[in-house]
Chain A
Amino acid sequence: MIIRVRLHGRGGQAMKTAGRVVGTAAFLEGFRAQDSPMYGPERRGAPVASFLRISDEEIAERGYVWSPDIIAIADPTLIGDPRANVLDGARQSTAAFVNIPTLDGIRVGDLTRLTNYDVTRAAIRLLGRAVLSSGVAGAVVKLLPISRQSLEEAVKIEMEDIGLKEREIDLNVKLALECFEGTPRVPVEPLPTEELQQFRAVELGWQPPEVSIGLIRNVGNGVEKMTGSWRVSRPVIDYSKCTRCGVCFDYCPEAAITLAGPDNRPVIDYDHCKGCLICYNECPVKGAITVEEEGLAEKVASGGVV
């Protein structure tokens, strides 16, 4: 039996560490275990995944988990993000954990075995910020044949490994155990190796340069990528202080600011503002741009949870 787990989060939410905590917990429990992360060249906020395989037999697999038995979603806005591929290879019986206060109105494809806990709130209460590794690990361990003790021990080992102080380690253990207790258990049904994706070879053959030379013809397709969902902090312009100097417009790396109206006022496109706060740093007028923490509710509303 191999249980395959895929964790989805955003850069900065510590899903790599979450994977490590669960991997170590499985190892301590006496299983064979394998964990690995994957991310692209993008920044904080961009989709990140990490993978776990827990088994009582040889693990003859590596890397990306294409057919997950469990999906853990640290950020619900990822469900509607086509780049995150949260539903890759999922089947109806795949169990899914979502970091969200309630499952009311939440759909994860056609998955039926959904469970949840508000890890973000617990993390902010205990740690003072939305670092989700220990909490998501606790929730995932709840769905696995792994004990509380192994979870506790694994959190200590992994938090010490990333250099946390004793107090912070204790708080992370608390967070992990709270999420462990608070997450309702749903059944997990591992897929036998033989039933994994079939391989059928195809031949593409030579293709003309118009399609095969690695060019982007559909220029401007960047707007389709909702980088707004990457945002952890939101810049807000106070028009009573803003002098319309246009500096923020010049500096915004996502071209998310336009100058509008007869007075050329800067307007932020929150679908694409990725929250880098360069505008905030460059604005020469004190208080013209302020920073707000991004709440989950607004993100769910604007990020297209299905």
Chain B
Amino acid sequence: MKRMLTGNASAAWGARISEVEYIGGYPITPQSEVVELLSKWVAEGAMNAVYTNYESEHSMFAGVGAASLSGVRAFTSTSSQGLMFAIEMLYAIAGWRAPVVFVNVARGLGMPMILQVEHGDIMGIRDTGFLQLHAETCQEVLDFVPMAYRIGEDRRVMLPVAVNMDGFLISFGREPVDVPDKELVRDFLPKYNRPYPVVDFSNPVAYAPTIVDGYAYMYFKEQLQKAQERAREVFYEAAADFERIIGRRYEPIERYMLDDADYAIVSTGSYSTIIRGAVRRLRERGERVGMVRIRMFRPFPRDEFVDALSGLKGVAVFDQNISLGKGGVIYTELAEALYHAKERPRVLMSFIGGLGGAEISFDAVRYMLERLKDAVASGEEPRNPNWLFSEEDRRRLARALKLTLGEEVISE
């Protein structure tokens, strides 16, 4: 049944239909609505779960990790500064092999402080061992929660999963969302069955050993990497069952208008809606351009990208994040993925934009394509990264700086 839901409500519904048994909560804009809804449902008895309000995100992640180790399905959500505060515990949870699912509501990272979207927070945890699914729409937010449990709890994987949605645009934005029946979800998602839970008192075990030797530390880190690698096959199995039972089909990357394309734009998250629309319009004008969108960011869908982008003349990567001192994260990872591809695109260009919710219009997408075509035609190495900063942005900035500095430093 479809209804109008925010991304936050979709995340809460995702947890509810996954029948999570433990929820940790701590408020942060633009995420608070997720845990507010869940705590309400638990209080009303609509969910058979335990809800705990924590004093910080750090403790909250410790709590949900421990709950997951005890054999119950655990859920939490946070955003931005809160995620950064908790990051130490994320490494711990992944190392415990506790398949917690958490929804991240992407928001920029201060200073300067901002509440609007940027992917620096979710990219900042890319090395922790968490799998990552990136949603573009409210529907994907909801669907990715049971998907995440199914993949993370699989014996071959046993890893926590982050489901990402964009702050405000999705978290507070509403659109029609189908909430699948609990019965159907039960079919799709078997009960969480942890080997050696911590509270099986007839078979006592201890977790989280301290290791003093490099070889043992390497062994456990390598096992984390191997589990990440196997998550790829598990994603496909889960996606096939999801389609059969619930009726929506997901692949690690979305390929849009790539047949006979010469150029493509790569993106992730909710701005992909804008890029897809622009690509369709550019197609109507005869441009041979397509789009690839990331759904699964960890493990990185390397082979899928090689398959989708091989033979193209040029690829532009839209990064809504910046690894300072290096550049866009997706661009960097994609460059590695394509390095050994036999027919790798001749030009790979990096664009940084939409930070803190900055505007991306149809025309900005057209601009990326034009720059890409120029680079392909000139045969010269493009300068990277390129900032999508418009004249209109400059006018707004000039006015703002005049107000804060008390003098005109940039002319309108």
Scan residues 197-240 of chain B and give those whose CB is less than 8 A from a CB of chain A. Answer: 204-210, 212, 219-220, 222-223, 226-227, 229-230
Q: Are B206 and A219 neighbours in the complex by a CB distance under 8 Å?
A: yes
Residues of A within 8 A of B96 (CB): 213-214
B156 & A219 in contact (Cβ 8 Å cutoff): no
A167 in contact (CB, < 8 A): no
B196 to chain A, nearest CB (A): 6
The answer to the question of A210 belonging to the interface, with a C-beta cut-off of 8 Å to chain B, is yes
Give bound CA distance, A64 to B223, whole Å.
25
Contact with A along B90-107 (1 / 0, CB 8 A): 000001110000000000
Give the CA-CA distance A198 to B155 in the complex, in Å.
36
Contact present for B210 and A204 (CB under 8 Å): no
Instruction: Find chain B residues with CB under 8 A from A214 CB.
Output: 95-97, 207-209, 220
Given A214-B95, A217-B196: A206 and B227 within 8 A (CB)? yes
Q: Is B67 positioned at the interface, with any CB of A under 8 Å from its CB?
A: no
- Tell me if A212 and B223 are in contact (CB < 8 A): yes
User: Interface residue count for B (Cβ, 8 Å)?
Assistant: 24
Which of A41, A209, A217 counts the most chain B CB atoms within 10 A? Answer: A209
Considering only CB atoms, which chain B residue lies closest to A206 in the complex?
Answer: B226
Rounded to whole angstroms, the CA-CA distance of A207 and B230 in the bound complex is: 11
Complex Cα distance, B195 from A217, in Å, reads 11
A-B contact count (CB 8 A): 52
- Contact between chains at A209 and B210 (CB < 8 Å): no
Known interface pairs A206-B156, A209-B97. Does A216 touch B205 (Cβ–Cβ under 8 Å)?
A: yes
The digit string for A15-48, where 1 denotes a CB below 8 A from any CB of B, is: 0000000000000000000000000110000000
Q: Closest chain A residue to B219 by CB distance? A: A204
Tell whether, in the assembled complex, residue A216 and residue B209 are in contact, meaning their CB atoms are under 8 Å apart: yes
With A206-B223, A206-B226, A210-B195 known as contacts, the answer to whether A215 contacts B204 (CB < 8 A) is no
Do residues A215 and B205 form an inter-chain contact, with CB atoms below 8 A? yes
A208 at interface by CB-CB < 8 Å = yes
Contact B97 A40, beta carbon cutoff 8 Å: no
Q: Which residue of B lies closest to A38 (CB)?
A: B212
Chain A residues close to B by CB (< 8 Å): 40-41, 204-210, 212-217, 219
15 pairs across A/B with beta carbons < 8 Å? A40-B212, A204-B222, A205-B226, A206-B156, A206-B223, A206-B226, A207-B223, A207-B226, A212-B219, A213-B158, A213-B223, A214-B96, A215-B206, A216-B206, A219-B204
